C-alpha cells in the first residue's frame, strides 16, 4: 500500500547552469530577494544585494538596472524633502536622511560599486513582488517608494503583461551588451500584498508570472530562468505556521525551506560542500564564551584561525578576510586585561 502523501512537491526546473563561490551574484527586487540573498551573503558567497534597497515592482527594478548601466550620478534635484528627511524616489527609505549630502553620498557610492559589479556579475536574480505601481502627480514619474508622502500625491495603476514585456525586451539586451555571459533568474515573491485585497493580489501575481514566462520564451533558457519560489510557498508550505505574525511575510522556517530548494537547484555541489565548512567558521565568530581569557577559548581561536587559512588555501576565491581578522584580534588580545564575562 502506497504511503499517504501530506504535501504536494513543486518540481524544480533543470537549469543549464549553476552559481557558486566562483560566481558573482547580484540580487534585486522585493524583500524576498533579501531573504535568499541574505543566506548567500551569510555563507560568504560573492553577492551584491539590492543596491537601491527593496524594490517591489518590475518597472522600479528596471529603472534601477538602467541607472546601474548608465552609472548615473544623483544630484540634489533628484531628491525630495518630506517631514525633515531627504528621499530619492528611486530608492528605499534606508537611503533617506536628514542630511541631503549624506543621502547623495550614500546613493552615488553604492551606484558606483554596483555598476562595476553588474558588469562582472555571472548571475542576476530578479524578484518581482507586485504589478502595482505609483506615479508622482507633480511630474508623472514612476516612484519605487512613496516615503510616507500622502497618497493623494500619487496615481496608482496596475501594470499589464505587455507593459512589463516592453520594458524588459529593451532592457535585457542592453544588459547582455555590457555583460554577454550574464544569466538572469526571475522569481515572483510569495509575500502577499494584502493592502491590494485578496483578488487584486492574485491578479497582480498572475501578471508577473505571465510576464516572466513570456520573457523566458522570448530570450531562451540559455540566458534566462525561473525559480518557483511563489509556487513553493503556495503548494509546499500551505500552512500558517510558515508565516510571520502578520500572516503575510514568510517565517524563518519557510525561508530555510526555500533556501534548501534554491540551493539544490541553483548552486553547484562543490560550493554546497564548501558552505558547510564556511558556516562552521562564521558560527565560530559568533561564539561568545563565558570567559574570554580561558585556555579553552584560546585553543578554540587558534584552531579556527588555522581552519580558515586552510580553507582559503584550498579555495583561494573565498573571501574570509573578516573572519581571519576577528580570530587574529582575539588571539592578540588574549593576554591583556582580566577575564570578562560575556552574555
Mean pLDDT split into 10-residue runs, the chain, 343 residues:
69 94 97 91 98 97 98 97 96 97 98 98 98 96 96 96 98 98 97 87 96 98 96 90 87 94 96 98 93 90 96 96 95 64 33
Angstrom distance (rounded) from CA 4 to CA 116:
52
User: Across the chain, which distance is largest between two alpha carbons, in Å?
Assistant: 71
pLDDT value at residue 248: 84
pLDDT value at residue 194: 86
Angstrom distance (rounded) from CA 260 to CA 323:
25
Angstrom distance (rounded) from CA 247 to CA 35:
17
Burial of 136 (0-12, 13-18, 19+ CB in 10 A): middle
pLDDT value at residue 342: 36
The set of cell numbers assigned to 228 is: 518557483
pLDDT value at residue 4: 58
Q: Which helix (H) or strand (E) holds 206?
A: helix 198-219
pLDDT value at residue 339: 42
Q: Do 315 and 260 fall into the same domain?
A: no
Q: Do 286 and 327 fall into the same domain?
A: yes
**Cell 525630495 sits on residue:** 80
Query: Residue 143 sits in which domain range?
Result: 25-267
- The helix-helix angle for 161-178 and 100-120 (nearest 10°) equals 70
User: Where among 216, 232, 267 does a domain terminate?
Assistant: 267
Give the residue from 182, 264, 197 showing the smallest Cα distance to 228. Answer: 264
Q: Do 195 and 307 fall into the same domain?
A: no
**Which positions ≥6 away from 306 have C-beta within 8 Å?**
none
Angstrom distance (rounded) from CA 119 to CA 51:
14
The set of cell numbers assigned to 159 is: 501594470
| Other Cβ atoms within 10 Å of 131 Cβ, number | 30
Task: Give the full edge-to-edge strand order of the sheet including 154-158.
Answer: 142-143, 132-136, 154-158
Polymer length in residues for the chain:
343
- The helix-helix angle for 295-314 and 269-286 (nearest 10°) equals 160
Q: Which residues of 38-63 are buried (b: 16+ CB within 10 A; e: fewer)?
A: bbbbebbbbbbbbbbbbbbbbbbbbb
Q: Do 131 and 80 fall into the same domain?
A: yes
| Other Cβ atoms within 10 Å of 208 Cβ, number | 25
The set of cell numbers assigned to 147 is: 516615503
Q: Do 285 and 263 fall into the same domain?
A: no
Burial of 7 (0-12, 13-18, 19+ CB in 10 A): exposed
Q: Do 228 and 286 fall into the same domain?
A: no
Please count the structural domains in the chain. 2
Q: Do 262 and 293 fall into the same domain?
A: no
Q: Do 80 and 183 fall into the same domain?
A: yes
**Cell 513553493 sits on residue:** 232
- pTM, to two decimals: 0.93
CATH number at 120 reads 3.40.50.1110
Angstrom distance (rounded) from CA 59 to CA 106:
22
The set of cell numbers assigned to 296 is: 579553552
Q: Is 200 left (phi over 0), alpha (psi -120 to 50) or beta?
A: alpha
User: Where among 236, 267, 298 does a domain terminate?
Assistant: 267
Question: Phi and psi of 34, rounded to 5°?
Answer: -70, -25
Q: Do 136 and 35 fall into the same domain?
A: yes
pLDDT value at residue 247: 86
User: Where among 267, 290, 308 does a domain terminate?
Assistant: 267
pLDDT value at residue 297: 92
Whether 164 contacts 205, CB under 8 Å:
no
3-state DSSP helix/strand/coil % of the chain, to nearest 5: 50, 15, 35
pLDDT value at residue 243: 86
**C-alpha angle 341-306-281 in degrees, rounded to nearest 5:** 60
When computed from its CA atoms, the radius of gyration of the chain, rounded to whole angstroms, is 22
Amino acid at each position: 500500500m502506497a504511503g499517504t502523501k501530506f504535501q504536494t512537491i513543486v518540481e524544480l526546473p533543470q537549469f543549464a547552469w549553476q552559481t557558486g563561490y566562483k560566481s558573482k551574484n547580484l540580487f534585486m527586487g522585493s524583500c524576498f530577494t533579501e531573504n535568499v540573498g541574505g543566506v548567500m551573503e551569510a555563507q560568504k558567497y560573492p553577492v551584491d544585494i539590492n543596491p537601491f534597497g527593496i524594490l517591489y515592482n518590475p518597472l522600479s527594478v528596471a529603472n534601477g538596472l538602467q541607472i546601474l548601466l548608465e552609472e548615473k550620478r544623483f544630484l540634489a534635484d533628484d531628491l525630495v524633502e518630506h517631514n525633515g528627511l531627504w528621499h530619492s524616489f528611486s530608492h528605499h527609505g534606508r537611503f533617506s536622511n536628514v542630511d541631503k549630502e549624506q543621502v547623495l553620498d550614500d546613493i552615488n557610492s553604492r551606484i558606483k560599486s554596483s555598476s562595476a559589479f553588474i558588469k562582472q556579475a555571472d548571475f542576476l536574480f530578479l524578484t518581482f513582488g507586485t504589478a502595482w505601481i505609483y506615479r508622482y502627480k507633480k511630474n508623472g514619474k514612476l516612484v519605487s517608494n512613496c516615503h510616507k508622502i500622502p497618497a493623494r500625491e500619487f496615481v496608482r495603476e496596475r501594470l499589464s503583461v505587455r507593459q512589463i514585456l516592453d520594458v524588459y525586451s529593451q532592457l535585457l539586451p542592453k544588459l547582455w551588451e555590457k555583460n554577454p555571459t550574464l544569466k538572469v533568474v526571475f522569481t515572483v515573491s510569495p509575500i502577499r500584498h494584502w493592502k491590494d485585497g485578496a483578488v487584486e493580489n492574485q491578479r497582480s501575481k498572475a501578471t508577473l508570472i505571465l510576464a516572466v514566462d513570456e520573457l523566458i520564451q522570448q530570450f531562451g533558457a540559455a540566458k534566462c530562468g525561473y525559480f518557483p519560489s511563489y509556487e513553493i510557498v503556495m503548494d509546499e508550505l500551505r500552512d500558517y505556521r510558515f508565516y510571520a505574525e502578520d500572516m503575510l511575510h514568510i517565517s524563518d522556517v519557510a525561508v530555510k525551506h526555500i533556501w534548501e530548494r534554491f540551493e539544490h537547484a541553483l548552486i553547484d555541489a562543490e560550493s554546497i560542500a564548501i558552505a558547510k565548512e564556511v558556516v562552521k567558521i562564521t558560527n565560530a565568530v559568533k561564539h561568545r564564551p563565558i570567559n574570554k581569557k580561558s585556555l579553552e577559548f584560546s585553543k578554540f581561536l587558534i584552531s579556527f584561525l588555522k581552519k580558515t587559512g586552510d580553507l582559503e588555501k584550498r579555495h583561494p576565491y573565498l573571501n574570509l578576510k573578516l573572519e581571519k581578522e576577528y580570530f587574529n584580534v582575539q588571539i592578540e588580545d588574549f593576554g591583556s586585561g582580566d577575564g570578562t564575562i560575556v552574555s
